[in-house]
Structure 1
Amino acid sequence: MDSKTLSSRLRELVKFLGTVKGDLANVTGPPSLLAPSSVVEVGHCWAQRPSVFSAPALEPNPQKRALLVLRWFLIALRSQLYIGVDHTTNNKTKPTTQTSIRKPLNAFLGELFLASWTDTENSKSTTHLVAEQVSHHPPITAMHVADRAHGVRADGYARVEMTFNGSVNIRQVGHATLRVDRYDEDYLVPLPDVKVRGFLGGCMYPEISGVYHVVGSSGWVSEVRFWGEGMLRGKRNSFEARVYHRDDAQKTAVYEVKGCWNEGWTVKDCGTGEVLEVYDVDAPENEPVPMEVEAVEAQDPWESRRAWGEVLEGLRAGDMRAVVAEKSKIEQAQRQMRASEATRGVTGAAVLSVAAGRGA
């Protein structure tokens, strides 16, 4: 799709969204603006770099562990929010080839996504992800990420609420907790609210604003302030973070992190002034490791890529007629199944709820 066609369709979308009242989360976007993946895949952002996920378990110093958890949180943001974008062409070295973000498919109730990642070169870590759509009205996605060998796991849920007032406002109701068994330590991790900008310019992009906190049970807190383009002449996707101890009334920072979460940032030791890291999101050494999933034909019918298989093929091929037809089949089948369950008084047990009950 060329830029003029995309821009025209985005303008049509703006007109449509302006007529919708209330929550947009369950509104289906135009097929041409859909990403070839379901919302249940979004949790992969936290698992796709196993060495980053397991790093806190290998650090004995509690304030450094807090910094590593903050690092994991920041690194995940691009994959979490720049959905449907090919990062091999949308980066700071090729600014003229930016691609608009796209809306993931609305997951159906009970939809699953199972995947794993293994870092064979660095920490030899393996992460496993289980994500499930546990509610459809309102839409709620639950996820569990674990590195069993290092005793690190994350559990979270998100209910997404969307409204439109010139930008799409995405409010994420929910949170995640990160557990590090070796140090009997837990972290409360926020899910930032997002604005989708760039409709009229033909290139939609996400922007976070406001202040969020990653809070550790050891007392260390990471305070992150986000702002973006047009805010006090800011640069897109900008942030500043500081790590301090909650018992310090002055909130004296031991580390400061500054930069753009879609490009890179600098980490500084506030005590010595030493630059500890210059992180480049696009550096080859920071690429995610390959994702491992079952072949589609071997997946359970409830697994996302098998269930949406024909739709995903149509999106990748740009065959919007096939996308609409196949998507309608799935949605109609889901409605009929749920109506039948309601008539019979049957409800299914969520996989993640069952696993939690068994102490998984």
Structure 2
Amino acid sequence: MGRKKIGTTWTSFVKSIASFNGDLASMTAPPFILSKASLVEFSAYWTEHPKLFVAPAKESDPEKRALAVLKWFLSTLKQQYSSRNEKLGSEKKPLNPFLGELFLGHWDDPEAGKTELISEQVSHHPPVTAYSIINEKHGVKLQGYNGQKASFASMTINVKQVGLARLHIDAYDEDYLITLPTLHIEGLVYGTPYVELEKSTIIQSSSGYFAKIEYTGKGWVSGKKNCFNATLQKVGSKDILYTISGQWTDSFTVKKGKTEVDSFSHKNNPTTPLTLKPIEEQDPLESRRAWAKVAVAIDKGDYEEIGMEKSKIENAQRELRKKEKEEGKTWERRYFSSVEKDSATGKLLDLAAKYSVSLGVPAVTLDDPSKTNGIWLFDEKKYEGVKSGTREEELKAAVEKVEAATAHAVSTTDQQIPLVDQP
């Protein structure tokens, strides 16, 4: 009975999107494609192979470091864009994080040591998640921010990612600028949505190495989806040092000239689980705790309860923003700060701009800060304040404000779920 109901609902949904024309933010999806995971959790996909994350710090040669960074980045793509499809059977719509939502955890690895994850929703309109991933033992740090702009055409959801990531290696005072791929979601008509990457991205190092990754989907020639080709070169030279090709969901090979020098297979490299505190010990603003009742309702398939519990959180957030506006205040981010310019990122962008065009890569430019409410950087001072306890009263007051607003928020039974977040 349940299957028939879901099948009928999916058929109705497909019919509605087939004739859809307009702003995707006004398009609603059936509740059964809703994921229990919030988008703020997606930052964890960067480091599910901690050994590869810290591997560049062990290379004294800058060329090999650049190659190690490229290999690590390519190894993250399956986790970022396909792991949910494999685990859940199809791509699900993540929960839209509320402003101030957190996702905190760490990975423990015998070789890499402890790697800490800090992810925070720093903007709600437009939606932006900022993250910092830190491995003190090896002096490797990743920080970045990410938002999405979605559109719909020809039965496909197209997503342009805004933002960027920057990897830093302490031992060599070296930075790597990483751009984010454009993607689209296929398989809607069959009820099995999955992500395909497209176009190209780059990795630019401060030591002068440039990587270009080109993505291709399933074609008549290859017959395979999720394919890519990557090259690594020295800025100012047309010589290709290394090529890497394969499927980002399966395996790839690294070649120097025609000689294979390395390879990677997801089958032979299991991911390291992220360690989280038990829900009852988490901060009330941490994602799993904040959305716990919604997750339970999704597990039960109780769409009315999903709508009610979800609306409590969302209506509370609307009231908080309204009150802040009336009082001339803004929500204080816990770990990140917004800036107009970042010199480290600017230098890497300038270096990439000089080289990318000659290789047929679109000029790399920073997205208009208005699309992300600024350039978001990890704030060491704020972080130390959290760790030392000097910000305890401030953080406690913020949590109490959210809890009080949620407790008094009006809930509705509206089961309509937007495909993308709405203002």
Aligned to 1:280: 265
- Alignment of 1:162 with 2:185, yes or no, is no
Residue of structure 1 aligned with 2:168, choices 152, 167, 179 = 179
Aligned pairs for 1:111-150 (under 5 A) are 111-120=101-110, 123-150=111-138
Aligned to 1:100: 90
Instruction: Give yes or no for contact 1:116–1:126 (8 Å, CA) kept in 2.
Output: yes
- What amino acid is the match of 1:269? K
TM-score by length of 2: 0.75
Structure 1 residue 161: Cα displacement = 0.5
Aligned pairs for 1:176-215 (under 5 A) are 176-215=165-204
Aligned to 1:95: none
- Alignment of 1:265 with 2:248, yes or no, is no
Aligned to 2:66: 66
- The alpha-carbon distance between structure 1 residues 233 and 336, as it changes in their structure 2 partners (threshold 3 A), is same
Instruction: Work out the CA distance in 1 between the residues paired with 2:12 and 2:181.
Output: 28
Instruction: Work out the CA distance in 1 between the residues paired with 2:92 and 2:173.
Output: 39
Instruction: Give yes or no for contact 2:335–2:382 (8 Å, CA) kept in 1.
Output: no
Unmatched 5+ residue regions in structure 2? 338-377, 384-423
The number of residue pairs the alignment matches comes to 341
Residue of structure 1 aligned with 2:205, choices 193, 201, 216 = 216
Structure 1 residue 203: Cα displacement = 1.2
2:264 is paired with a residue of what secondary structure? strand
- The alpha-carbon distance between structure 1 residues 45 and 2, as it changes in their structure 2 partners (threshold 3 A), is farther
- What amino acid is the match of 2:267? D
- Alignment of 1:305 with 2:288, yes or no, is yes
Instruction: Give yes or no for contact 2:40–2:97 (8 Å, CA) kept in 1.
Output: yes
- The alpha-carbon distance between structure 1 residues 177 and 28, as it changes in their structure 2 partners (threshold 3 A), is farther
Instruction: Work out the CA distance in 2 between the residues paired with 1:2 and 1:81.
Output: 29
Task: Identify which range, 327-336 or 103-112, moves more after superposition.
Answer: 327-336
Instruction: Work out the CA distance in 1 between the residues paired with 2:71 and 2:9.
Output: 37
Residue of structure 2 aligned with 1:318, choices 279, 290, 301 = 301
Instruction: Give yes or no for contact 2:334–2:382 (8 Å, CA) kept in 1.
Output: no
Instruction: Work out the CA distance in 1 between the residues paired with 2:97 and 2:290.
Output: 10
Q: Which whole-Å deviations, capped at 9, do the CAs of 1:277-326 have from their partners, x for residues lacking one?
A: 3321122xx11112111111111111111110011122233333322221
TM-score by length of 1: 0.88
2:84 is paired with a residue of what secondary structure? coil
- The alpha-carbon distance between structure 1 residues 86 and 208, as it changes in their structure 2 partners (threshold 3 A), is closer
- The alpha-carbon distance between structure 1 residues 232 and 13, as it changes in their structure 2 partners (threshold 3 A), is farther
- The alpha-carbon distance between structure 1 residues 124 and 214, as it changes in their structure 2 partners (threshold 3 A), is closer
Instruction: Give yes or no for contact 1:161–1:171 (8 Å, CA) kept in 2.
Output: yes
Aligned to 2:12: 12
Instruction: Work out the CA distance in 1 between the residues paired with 2:314 and 2:382.
Output: 33
Instruction: Give yes or no for contact 1:169–1:195 (8 Å, CA) kept in 2.
Output: yes
- The alpha-carbon distance between structure 1 residues 261 and 3, as it changes in their structure 2 partners (threshold 3 A), is farther
Structure 1 residue 189: Cα displacement = 0.5
Aligned to 1:230: 219
Structure 1 residue 125: Cα displacement = 2.2
Structure 1 residue 256: Cα displacement = 1.1
Structure 1 residue 27: Cα displacement = 6.4
Instruction: Give yes or no for contact 2:85–2:194 (8 Å, CA) kept in 1.
Output: no
Q: Which whole-Å deviations, capped at 9, do the CAs of 1:325-349 have from their partners, x for residues lacking one?
A: 2111211121122222222222221
Aligned to 1:43: 43
- The alpha-carbon distance between structure 1 residues 246 and 302, as it changes in their structure 2 partners (threshold 3 A), is same
Instruction: Give yes or no for contact 1:23–1:161 (8 Å, CA) kept in 2.
Output: no
Instruction: Work out the CA distance in 1 between the residues paired with 2:6 and 2:132.
Output: 36
1:200 is paired with a residue of what secondary structure? helix
Instruction: Work out the CA distance in 1 between the residues paired with 2:262 and 2:5.
Output: 42
Structure 1 residue 12: Cα displacement = 3.3
Q: Which protein shows a greater Rg?
A: 2
Q: Which whole-Å deviations, capped at 9, do the CAs of 1:234-277 have from their partners, x for residues lacking one?
A: 521000111111120x2x2111111110111111122xx33223
Instruction: Work out the CA distance in 2 between the residues paired with 1:342 and 1:138.
Output: 17
- The alpha-carbon distance between structure 1 residues 6 and 71, as it changes in their structure 2 partners (threshold 3 A), is farther
2:379 is paired with a residue of what secondary structure? helix
Instruction: Give yes or no for contact 1:57–1:152 (8 Å, CA) kept in 2.
Output: yes
Structure 1 residue 175: Cα displacement = 0.5
Structure 1 residue 83: Cα displacement = 5.5
